[in-house]
Structure 1
Amino acid sequence: MGGIRMTVIPVNRTPRPRFNVGGLRFVLRSPQAAAGAAILLILLLMGLLAPLLTRYDPTSLEFGTWLKPSAAHPLGTTALGQDILAQLLYGARLTLLIGFVSGLVATAIGTAAGIAAAYFGGRTDEIINTVINAFLVLPGLPLLIVVGAFLRGGGVWSIILVIAFTGWAFGARVLRGQALALRGRDFVQAAIATGEGPGRIIFAEMLPNLAGLIAANFFSTALYAVLSEAGLSFLGVGDVSKITWGTMLYWAQANQALLQGAWWWIVPPGLGIALLGTAFALLNFGIDEITNPRANHANKATKVLRRGKAPQAVAPQPDGPLLSIRHLDAGYVTPRGPVRAVRDVSLDVRPGEFVGLAGESGCGKSTLAFAATRLLDPPGAVFGGEAVLGGKDLLAMNPEELRRVRWKEYSLVFQASMNILNPVIKVREQVYDAMQAHGVKDKEKLEARARELFRLVGIRESYLDAYPHQLSGGMKQRVVIAIALALEPKLVVMDEPTTALDVVVQRQILQEIDEVRRELGIAIIFITHDLSLLVEMSDRIAIMYAGEIVEEAPAREIYAHPKHPYTRRLMTAFPPLSGERERREGIPGRPPPLSLELSGCPFFDRCPARMPGLCDVKKPANVEVEAGHRVACFLHSPAVKEEGHALASD
């Protein structure tokens, strides 16, 4: 009974400062962002520590002219006898100052204009949009030259003013478009409806969701500023009396450095500008990962963060389970630490079996299914365990191996998956896709299989020539189910596939799913919060709560003799169709935060039969109390789950 291993991820419960250093570390964990930060730090230190890195004055004319690189002058000298290394180091100061300040000013103007236009709309949007369009129509370089010439001699700050004045419009246009989409989102409309002021809505609701785009706008504008300053200086329009990387290039071309063979005068400032642009681009990768983790991982398999060697392939047993999930730990990696949405879960699915996963929202049902099948989107990750399908551990496969297995060995039907159909491609082509990806190229075979699938799920074959918008919600859902069955997989995972449909269509589709399962011998994992539905459809039901399976039994047994207090409360949450009327109540309280480690039973705070001193201190083991009926509760077994070694959360 005892001795069950559980992996634990340590969670830091100390209060965090207002400035989230962990978030910065999370960004820098990206190799690209770390490289960008390192390059930028080196360039900054070059400028700040210039007096310590060279003993020469960058304006001194005391050295020989056109000297090649040597020990005394590592980068040689200019036509006037100035040390090029000294100019490069001191020039980094003004170049970086122009880039950062111009970027900040232009980004601030563009952000304010774009969000104001999107939020206030109407006349405000018309005026701001007209100004933005006017600046976008103006030719950038000629405008820079004209304004730069007019303010010539005004020093560095005039250059910053010119670049910021001409560089804000593009960012404002992009931000306006994104903010318009955000303005129509439900959470913004809800904030407006509750009476929140414009300031709070803009700064608390909209700006955080635009942070990645604003950061990208800053980096691109800062690089534009550096390149613009170099361009103005190269043309002689800027203040060439100052030392920047741009003015170094100006004096090099003015003195015909290339004709003199003095490459050492041109390469260093050009390389510095290129490295600065590279640093900005790489840093943007890291910020994009934390604000939009799907962007850089869209085609990658779910990340597996377990220690040691990957488990070896297990030979499938003739009478064994089709899918065997063992000690699975999975969740989400956040700047504040890992959130374990699935905690040491073990579950078997036999061939041809209909297994239901039930529980209230947020209990880990979908995370369990997606983690086991390696379809958990970033920042989701698997922290430990294994998921063996047909003798092969899905968590040990590389992306190419997974690609060959998906849709052929197992497939998925997502929640509201009717929305995944491409609106501009005919249904026939979308049904063909999965089969073509797995080597079925013959048109006659594709067509015959598509028609057969439509007959299976109850759709007229003529709808193969339709576009998705010509189908009802129920028909589109049937199309998606047909696609999932195209290659006759051994296992289909369905994540609340009928939630968005009316009850009549739900029942029709579920009956068709069950008929197809029995005809083809396909195993199904069906995820829903509707326990009454699973009681009717499933062979076996697993009840999840706070990331753990608390009870598992045949459907009839769960219905007739629920043992866990949570299961009993779920069973009484929906009314019977016959008998006397009675008042039904929900389960008081709420599930515990999944970012915390729980020392006892996760249902303790809401349980009407809790035993203080036991249930809140020790975790009950999930044991078989009757044939085929497992439960994790001290009311039925004294077995305690033993905690294993802590699992690294890297």
Structure 2
Amino acid sequence: MTTIRLRRPRMAWLRTGQLGFLTRSPRATAGLVIILVMLLMAIFAPLLTPYDPKAGIFDPWLRPSLTHPLGTTALGEDIFSQLLYGARLTLLIGLMSGAIATAIGTTLGLAAAYFGGRVDEAINTLANVFLVLPGLPLLIVASAFLRGAGVWPIILVISLTGWAWGTRVLRSQALALRNRDFVHAAVASGEGPGRIIFREMLPNLAGIIAANFFSTALYAVLSEAALSFIGIGDVGQTTWGTMLFWAQGKQALLNNAWWWVAAPGLSIALLGTAFALVNFGIDEISNPRVGRAGKATKVLRKKGTAPVAEAPQTGQPLLSIRHLNAGYLTPRGPVRAVRDVSLDVKPGEFLGLAGESGCGKSTLAFAATRLLDAPGVVFSGEARLDGKDLLAMSPEELRRVRWKDYSLVFQASMNILNPVIKIREQVYDAMQAHGVQDKKKLDARARELFRLVGIRESYLDAFPHQLSGGMKQRVVIAIALALEPKLVVMDEPTTALDVVVQRQILQEIDEVRRRLGISVIFITHDLSLLVEMSDRIAIMYAGEVVEEAPADEIYRNPKHPYTRRLMSAFPPLSGERERREGIPGRPPSLAQDIPYCPFYERCPSRMPGLCDMKKPASVEVEGGHRVACFLHSMAVKEEESRAPLASD
């Protein structure tokens, strides 16, 4: 048996820490390099040019040369010197105005969202007033009163006229956060408003705050350039804006001195591009799904895998997973959430995946079916559906297979229904994507599906909000069954429903499965539910399948200590009342190698010197009953290979 050991990539320290996004995002790197170059130009201007930017000691209208890289102005001033020194005030105005306006907008936006009521009303009214007032005319009027007063009044004016938009955006996002469960939990635990706002809410808004800062900084640079260009700003200062003012006033273009206009204009455009690139980069790091939505799961295994097999013969598994290693690429290194898992699903079989939260159940199912969202990846292994390796398919091949050969019902999947589109159109969607366009066929199939899952056909013309939670869950299951796939993966589809509706839906799922011959992978942490519904159960722990057997065998004779502890956590419906206990301790970190039994630290039957030194192999101890435990077999799992992790 060959698995893969992940090795921390070289220079991994560059990907960690507060500035780790420098190396993790090419966009952020490019933007920060541009900004850094401009800052160095501004700081070291006296070393980069020997000329005073205001000294008109040269001949006018000189063309670019080695002595004057950007030529001279109509007054004999060196344009390159003006560009370097002008970067100082331009960057100061942009960065300071952006920081002040963002601080104001963030404080007011979070305060309005958190406190609500009169505070929200007052802040919202004030923001609306500033948004209604025309921005540029307001700047012109305010700057006219402060004309010639220097740079700081301009920064103040731009900051006080540029905060309102960011406040509105941040308030709307913070309002959604304010109603999240983790904020309610913080309030209930007695945390103060300041801690909740800055510790709980602020980190979740990092991308929006960064976007607000960079957009306001660019707005400040452009505003200063506009004010200077029309002569309202302090034209006695040297900025990129005043360079444009003097170039226009001295008719540079008419004198064929286009470089006088191009140098500050392109610099402002380049600075705006740098701000945008850094903002995109921060968005990529704060939200790994940005830019990756809709893409298939990244597969990092080596190319040149075995050729695709033909369709399985009778008695062969429908889905065959072999030595699958999958997980997540994080700034601190890879996390292996699935470790060398081999598993089969037979045609028409109901396979249950059980285990504690975080044991790798969903990651296994999603990785095998190429539905693992970024930053999730498949490191190695195979997943063959009907003989076709899903991990070797192109995006177009996957598009043709999904929903037709296999489909998925997500956890709390009732939330995936679009609230503004009728149920009928959403049921049609998957069928239309696979070539069914005839309206009569679509309508007949939709009605058949609704009868199949126990919903009145009249609800096809309803909107999602008109259906109960159980009905919406049935709609999602109907969509998953629309093309009669061979395999349906269900990730805790009934978790948010009451027990009565859960039982109804599960019975309907089982009835549909038997009628259509569909295979089902049912993921849950409720082992008692699987014992009743499943044909076979696989128990996962720390990314590994530690026991696999028919459901009745798991119930009557669980062999792995972890399975026994899970079974004993559920009270029986009859007999004397007994005290039930949980499993002490916690699973090991999946970011590290585990060359021993993963359950060792929590196992009541552990054998020091063996269980903490070697990893047990999964062995069939009875017909169809496999277990990875030294209590039942002394077989040791083969040493993992030392193959390095492919680069991201």
What TM-score results when the alignment is normalised by the length of structure 1? 0.95
Residues 162-220 of structure 1 show CA distances to partners (whole Å, capped at 9, x for unaligned) of 11121111111211222222222221121112111222112111111111111111110
> What percent of counterpart residues are identical?
77
Question: Are 1:553 and 1:629, in contact at CA under 8 Å, matched by a contact in 2?
Answer: yes
In structure 2, the residue matched to 1:485 is 481
Answer whether contact 1:11 1:595 (CA < 8 A) is retained: no
Which residue in the other structure is 2:360 paired with?
A: 364
The 3-state SS of whatever aligns with 2:545 is strand
Out of 303, 321, 324, the residue aligned to residue 320 of structure 2 is 324
Amino acid at match of 2:5: V
1:130 and 1:317 mapped to 2: Cα distance?
67
In structure 2, how many angstroms separate the alpha carbons of the residues matched to 1:647 and 1:260?
63
1:18-71: per-residue Cα shift (whole Å, max 9, x none)?
x99445334542232222222222222222333333333322222221122233
Q: Which of 278, 288, 291 pairs up with 2:286? A: 291
Q: Is the 8 A contact 1:11 1:597 kept in 2?
A: no
Structure 2 residue 252 is the aligned partner of structure 1 residue 257: yes
Q: Please state how far the C-alpha of 1:309 moved relative to its aligned partner.
A: 4.7
SS at match of 2:77: coil
The answer to whether 1:200 aligns with 2:195 is yes
Task: Give the superposition deviation at 1:252.
Answer: 0.6
| Aligned counterpart, 1:453 | 449
Shift of 1:610: 0.5
In the other structure, the counterpart of 1:494 is: 490
Alpha-carbon distance in structure 2 between the residues aligned to 1:513 and 1:487: 15
Partner of 2:141: 146
1:415-458 per-residue CA deviation (whole Å, 9 max, x = no partner) reads 12122112222211111000001111111111111122122222
Write the distance in 1 (CA, Å) between the matches of 2:270 and 2:326: 39
Question: Is it true that 1:171 corresponds to 2:139 in the alignment?
Answer: no
Mapped pair 1:335 → 2:334 = no
The reply to whether residue 604 of structure 1 matches residue 600 of structure 2 is yes
SS of equivalent to 1:536: helix
**Structure 1 segment 548-567 matched on structure 2, within 5 A:** 548-567=544-563
Aligned equivalents of 1:178, 1:464: Cα separation in 2: 33
1:524 pairs, out of 520, 530, 539, with 520
Classify the secondary structure of the residue corresponding to 2:537.
strand
AA in 1 matched with 2:556: A
Please name the residue that 2:91 is paired with: 96
State the alpha-carbon separation in 2 of the partners of residues 146 and 388 from structure 1: 70
Q: Is the 8 Å Cα contact of residues 167 and 221 (structure 1) preserved in structure 2? A: yes
Q: 1:414 aligns with which of 410, 416, 422?
A: 410
Deviation at 1:284, TM superposition (A): 1.0
Given the superposition, is the C-alpha separation of residues 9 and 603 from structure 1 closer, same or farther in structure 2, using an over 3 Å criterion? same
1:311 and 1:396 in contact (8 A); partners too: no
Displacement of 1:336? 2.4
The residue type paired with residue 141 of structure 1 is L
**Separation (CA, whole Å) in 1 of partners of 2:384 and 2:149:** 71
Corresponding residue for residue 158 of structure 1: 153
Report the counterpart of residue 274 of structure 1 in structure 2: 269
Task: Give ranges in structure 1 of 5+ residues lacking alignment.
Answer: none
Residue type matched to 2:222 in 1? L
**2:621 corresponds to which residue?**
625
- 1:13-412, aligned counterparts within 5 Å? 21-26=16-21, 28-309=23-304, 312-319=307-314, 320-412=316-408
Does the Cα contact within 8 Å between 2:15 and 2:23 map onto a contact in 1? no
Mapped contact 2:174–2:201 kept (Cα < 8 A): yes
Letter paired with 2:506:
L
Shift of 1:305: 3.0
Change (3 A) 1:313 1:51: farther
> Does 1:6 pair with 2:9?
no
State the TM-score, normalizing by the size of structure 2.
Answer: 0.95
Corresponding residue number in structure 2 for 1:571 = 567
- For 1:24, what is the secondary structure of its paired residue? coil
Structure 1 position 277, deviation (Å): 0.7
1:233-252 per-position Cα deviation (integer Å, ceiling 9, x unaligned): 10111111111111111111
Aligned partner of residue 169 in structure 2, secondary structure: helix
Shift of 1:314: 3.2
Q: Contact conserved, 1:289 with 1:296, CA < 8 A, in 2? A: yes
One-letter amino acid matched to 1:429: E
Per-residue CA deviations over 1:265-295 (Å, capped at 9, x if unaligned) read 1111111111111111111111112222223
Q: Note if contact 1:551-1:630 (Cα within 8 Å) is conserved in structure 2.
A: yes
Aligned residue in 1 for 2:644: 647
Alpha-carbon separation, structure 2, partners of 1:564 and 1:456? 39
CA distance in 1, matches of 2:22, 2:312: 45
Partner of 1:435: 431
Which of 504, 510, 534 is equivalent to 1:538? 534
Name the counterpart of 2:463. Answer: 467
Q: CA contact under 8 A between 1:304 and 1:381: conserved in structure 2? A: yes
Aligned equivalent of 1:426: 422
1: CA distance, partners of 2:168 / 2:339: 45
Higher alpha-carbon deviation: 82-91 or 358-367: 82-91
The offset of 1:646, in angstroms, is: 4.2
SS across alignment from 1:542:
strand
Inter-partner Cα distance in structure 1 for 2:455 and 2:117: 46
* Distance in 1 (alpha carbons) for counterparts of 2:442 and 2:294: 26
Structure 2: 5+ residue stretches without partners? none
Letter in 2 for 1:440: V
| Structure 1 pair 57–312 and aligned structure 2 pair: CA distance change class (3 A) | farther
> For the structure 1 residues 226 and 482, does the alpha-carbon distance in structure 2 shift closer, same or farther, using more than 3 Å as the test?
same
Range 124-133 or range 19-28, more displaced = 19-28
- How far the C-alpha of 1:375 sits from its partner, in A, is 1.6
Secondary structure of 2:351's counterpart equals strand
Matched AA of 2:641: G
State which of 605, 610, 625 in structure 2 corresponds to 1:614: 610
Q: Quote the Cα distance in structure 1 between the aligned partners of 2:36 and 2:5.
A: 37
Q: 1 CA distance for matches of 2:165 and 2:232?
A: 24
CA apart distance, 1:543: 0.2
> Displacement, 1:481?
0.8
- 1:484 is displaced (CA, Å) by 0.4
- The answer on whether the counterparts of 1:623 and 1:631 sit within 8 Å (CA) in structure 2 is yes
Moved more, 287-296 or 483-492: 287-296
- Deviation at residue 307 of structure 1 after TM alignment: 4.1
